[in-house]
Amino acid sequence: DTEVTQTPKHLVMGMTNKKSLKCEQHMGHRAMYWYKQKAKKPPELMFVYSYEKLSINESVPSRFSPECPNSSLLNLHLHALQPEDSALYLCASSQGSSGSFNTQYFGPGTRLTVL
């Protein structure tokens, strides 16, 4: 199984809502990532989890809160978002190591719209 799944596929939320994005992989990968991608732009790295520990936080606002409950799951909790946070949120996983990271497998993304 080389699939990374993300739910939901689409999400519309108001600025006062609290919602969560979910990501799952069953490839035994130990590194998981969240990216944000605006239209016609490259993905921007938000967070990296390595062996269930947060290893990189690219100065993302605190209204985005990642969580890695176990090695297969990665969540992104959203609270008090702004309209400019509307984007495609991509999850990825890789074998991971303390050194050079290998091939990433991406999920299909969650299209988020903040009203």
Partner 1 sequence: SQQGEEDPQALSIQEGENATMNCSYKTSINNLQWYRQNSGRGLVHLILIRSNEREKHSGRLRVTLDTSKKSSSLLITASRAADTASYFCATVLYQKVTFGTGTKLQVIP
Q: Write out the two tokens for 71.
A: 């090695």
Strand 110-114 versus strand 10-13 pairing type: parallel
**Site membership for partner 1, residue 55 (CB under 8 A):** yes
Q: Restricting to residues 13-52, which ones interact with partner 1 according to CB under 8 A?
A: 31, 33, 41-45, 48, 50
Task: Enumerate the β-bridge partners of residue 26.
Answer: none
**Site membership for partner 1, residue 68 (CB under 8 A):** no
The residue among 36, 50, 42 whose CA lies nearest residue 94 is 50
- Give the interface size with partner 1 as a residue count (CB under 8 A): 27
Residues forming the site for partner 1 (CB under 8 A): 4, 31, 33, 41-45, 48, 50, 55-56, 88, 90, 92, 99-109, 111
